[in-house]
Amino acid sequence: MFTYRLELTNSCFGSFFPHLGRGLPLRHEGSTKPSKPFDFFGSECVDLALVVAAFVLAEIDQAWDRPGQDPPYLMVHYEPSSKQGAVTMSEFPISFTLEFPYTRTPGPVIGRFLTGLRDGRILGIRSGDRILCPPMEFDPDTCETLALDFVDVGPSGTVENWTWIAEPTSKHPIQEPFAFALVKLDGADTVMTHAVKASGPEAISTGMRVTAQFREERVGAVTDVYFVPEADAEKQSIEPGEGEVEITTHTISLPYTDTLYPHSARFAQGLLDGKFIGQRTRDGTVSFPGKGYDALARVVLTEADDVELPPVGTVLSYTTIAPIQYKGQTETEPYLTAIIILDGAGQTLTPQDIRNIPTDEFRVGMRLRAVFKPAAERDIDNVDNDWMYPSIGNVVDHWESSGEPDCPLDELPESV
Amino acid sequence: MAEDIAIVAFAQTPSYRKYHDSEPSMIMSLVEQIDKEVDIDRYDIDFTIAGSCDYLSGRAFAFIANVDGYGAWPPVYESHVEMDGAWALYEAYVRLQLGDIDTALIVGSGKSSPGKPLEIFPLQTDPYVSAPLGVDPVSAAGLQARALLESGKATERDFAEVVSRSRRDGLSNPYAQVAKDIDADTLLKEPYCASPLRKHDLPPISDGASAMLIARGDKARELCDNPIWIRGIDHRMESHHLGLRDLSDSPSTRIAAKSLGVDPASLDVAELCVRYSPEEIVLRQALQLGDNTRINPSGGPLCGHPVMSTGLTRVVEAARYIRNGDAGRGLAHAASGAALQHNLLCVLEGDS
């Protein structure tokens, strides 16, 4: 039997990255023997207690998480019970941030609108007998291109619809509870979606009057302005900026947290244990690391397909790196970097640095053995679910000659 | 004259809060199910198309890796939409109309668990005046809910009744992630999160996938005994400015229904993409659905919302209902964008 502990966490947390842990609001303990570790929802013979626990958590976690907190998610830690041998399955959390700085030309209409906001004005555009705000380049009904006929609207207007955001996301323009509202500015015929700062949901209602407040620092973006109840508005004197807003930047930054997939976790655990674990595919070759499936045969692979490869391989190629000196460069002496394929593997490792074998003794076909670092010094920080090349983390201290004769050049193993 | 095209086989994963493996492996197990059900060699599938979104799990070119899931060797003729799988079905349907190929495999998949949907989805909106404000789907749904309340088209109790019925129906859906026997009175005691919405008016965050095999007339009959015929499929979109729309109505849905000639009296079942409870009321009114139509027997997206397959799963659920003999004719609906901006309808019918 495994003992398991189910935790609802609000952050990445794991035995190898304890510094990432940030509190455990909920915990359920019990025991079960999952037929397939990790995949507790998909597993066919899961202990009822686990299903109940998962269900309880799913209930708690039913809604799209309101912001300001990491999405809570389920993590399962499998620990061997005292009666069982040393079977350890741990989850390896990973986290990363995806960032793209978007730089856009707003064009002649939105550009004028954003320029207006920077200068403390709100501009609408004439479309037939209507004034559109925010302005558009075309008539939304006929799609006719509109003349650049701008009209000042606001700065006050009427709330036509609103929703109270009890917990703002980090992407919202106001970092305390606020309302998103559809505001029809005085002089405009259409409504604008924007943020209203108010003391609470009781302080906002449909039909109420609001007034624009411009931020002190304005960059020519829709976020240069927000709204407050008319009575709370402060009189502002805005100094116009120079020139037209011709570029708008919007940097998106999205955080992600995940855990290593089961096969990746077994691979990572193998590295920490000083072993190279790959997966045998249906054509007999060993994928190292495994992908959890065989892409050619299109079948899902399991732990039963795991194969331990020997820490011995053959040099397929190498090059000498002569370090160019620049600020921050830590290398001073030339060194080798080699493409090595482990015996039995279907693809090569990421280039491995070689510093202990003289350049003039190094050659293609040479047989090398990996010497692992002491267990306490091995780390898998650079292992994730998306290898472009098979990374082996920072677990190998160096490569040494295996003492075997070289592999003849015409017998070098094939690789991807 | 449109070609007769039918759904031959379909499959879906459960909605998982967190699927602890890769998206390709999730797809692979699904496609294997379809292969087992239908006597077709995977090399004989003429066209493959998937709907997915790299932003969900933050993995650049994840849609390329997903090709592993349906098997890319030898090279397959395939396409991809950065939309719900229901739109992949639309493209496949249109592709088969050309008449030169017979079969298409459609996959919709997504893993929302690694990211923060509320921060990702504002990126779907206008990049100049909406996205920088972080206008997210929950906030848009909150505005839609109030538009319904203030136009007198619904009450908060109506929202709660949708949730209560859906979550109860979810109890008999093995693929549901969230299901519960809970009455509207109890739900109405919960606090607001995006007023007038309460947390239970929102869908869960889910990982999941669905898939189907469609085929032209004779081929469909050859591959299965009870093809589910696609009698029509259409999709329409509204403005990207919330302010230019009547949020208490769905004219795009109405136009799509009209173009398909949907007769609400003929529909035994409707699987609607109700991600937020007020959406059901908007859709029911736009489609003029009456008591003769069973709405979301699966519980709908309120019981499981695997983004990018949620819409395709509605087609799967409606097809399942027909294949089980519980309905003769049904409607599946998929939605995209904020507050039902973009709507797709698909009319299905069994062999009578």
Does the structure show a pLDDT above 90 at A47? no
Question: Which amino acid would we find at residue A370?
Answer: A
pLDDT in tens, B306-322: 999 999 999 999 999 99
| Strand segments (E) across chain B | 5-12, 47-51, 78-81, 103-111, 192-195, 197-198, 207-216, 228-237, 269-271, 294-295, 329-336, 342-349
User: Tokens representing B123?
Assistant: 């990126």
The pLDDT tens digits for B150-203 are 999 999 999 999 999 999 999 999 999 999 999 999 999 999 999 999 999 999
Q: What is the pLDDT of residue A57?
A: 36
Say if A257 falls within a structural domain.
no
| B64 contacts in chain A (CB < 8 Å) | none
**DSSP code for A234:** P
CATH (one of 3.40.47.10, 3.10.20.600, 3.30.70.360, 3.90.1170.50) for B5-116+205-223: 3.40.47.10
> Residues 91..150 of B with a Cβ closer than 8 Å to A: which?
113-120, 122-123, 127-139, 142-143, 145-147, 150
Q: Is A166 on the interface with B (CB under 8 A)?
A: yes
pLDDT higher than 60, residue B102: yes
Indicate if A390 and A274 belong to the same structural domain: yes
A253 found inside a domain:
no
Q: Where are the domains of chain B?
A: 5-116+205-223
Query: In this complex, is the C-beta atom of B18 within 8 Å of any C-beta atom belonging to chain A?
Result: yes
- Using alpha carbons, list the distances in angstroms from residue A147 to A115, A135, A337: 18, 11, 63
Q: What is the share, in percent, of chain B residues with pLDDT greater than 90?
A: 91
Residues of B within 8 A of A225 (CB-CB) are none
In this complex, do A162 and B73 lie within 8 Å of one another by their Cβ atoms? Answer: no
User: Are A133 and A87 contained in the same domain?
Assistant: no
Which is it for strands A312-321 and A335-342: parallel, antiparallel or unpaired? antiparallel
Report DSSP state, residue A60.
H
- Note whether A194 contacts B: Cβ–Cβ < 8 A: yes
Q: Which amino acid, A239? A: E
- Contact between chains at A254 and B59 (C-beta distance less than 8 A): no
Asked if residue A256 belongs to a domain, the reply is no
- Asked whether the CA dihedral B138, B144, B147, B148 is positive or negative, the reply is negative
Nearest to B18 among A74, A191, A300 (CB): A74
| Boundary residue ending a domain (A245, A271, A300) | A245
Q: Give the Cβ contact number of residue A377 at 10 Å.
A: 10
The pLDDT value recorded for residue A414 is: 80
Please, which residues bridge with residue A368 across strands? A313, A401
Let me know: does B132 contact A226? Beta carbons within 8 Å.
no
State whether A271 and A143 are in the same domain: no
For residue A252, is it within any domain?
no
Number of structural domains found in chain A: 3
Statement to judge: residues A290 and A385 lie in one domain? yes
Please tell me whether residues A290 and A219 are part of one structural domain. no
Domain final position from A93, A125, A143: A93
Rounded to whole angstroms, the Cα distance separating B101 from A128 reads 49
Q: How far is A58 from chain B (nearest CA, A)?
A: 6
Q: Which residue reads 């700062």 in tokens? A: A197
Q: How far apart are CA B106 and CA B88, in angstroms?
A: 6
- Calculate how close chain B gets to A94, using CA atoms only, in Å: 10
Chain B CB within 8 Å of residue A292 CB: yes
Residue span of the structural domain in which A138 resides: 106-245
| Residue B19 touches partner A, C-beta closer than 8 Å | yes
Considering only residues 41 to 70 of chain B, which have any Cβ-Cβ distance to chain A shorter than 8 Å? 42, 55, 57-60, 65, 68-70
ipTM of this predicted complex? 0.94
A223 contacts B127? CB cut-off 8 A: no
Asked if A57 and A133 sit in the same domain, the reply is: no
- Are A240 and A289 members of one domain? no
**Predicted pLDDT at A271:** 94
**Mean pLDDT computed over every residue of chain A:** 80
Q: Which residue of B has its CA nearest to A67?
A: B118
Whether residue A241 has pLDDT greater than 90:
yes
A251 within domain boundaries:
no
Nearest to A28 by CA among A45, A10, A3, A46: A3
- Whether A300 and chain B come into contact, CB under 8 Å, resolves to yes
pLDDT (tens digit, 9 = 90+) per residue, A152-203? 999 999 999 999 999 999 999 999 999 999 999 999 999 999 999 999 999 9
Residue A288 lies in a domain: yes
Looking at the domain assignment, is residue A280 inside a domain?
Answer: yes
Segment A311-317 mean pLDDT: 96
Query: Do residues A335 and A396 share a domain?
Result: yes
The answer to whether position A131 is within a domain reads: yes
Measured distance CA(A62)–CA(B302) in Å, rounded = 9
| A chain contacts of residue B194, beta-carbon cutoff 8 Å | 163-166
Confidence of residue A385 (pLDDT cuts 50, 70, 90): confident
Q: Are residues A84 and A203 in the same domain?
A: no
Q: Are residues A196 and A281 in the same domain?
A: no
Per-residue model confidence as pLDDT tens digits over A255-269: 999 999 999 999 999
- Domain limit, last residue, from A63, A93, A123: A93
Same domain, A307 and A407: yes
Residues A268, A329 within the same domain: yes
Are B142 and A163 in contact (CB < 8 Å)? Answer: yes
Confidence band (pLDDT; 50, 70, 90) for A386? confident
* Chain A residues with CB-CB distance to B30 below 8 A: none
Say whether pLDDT at B207 is over 50: yes
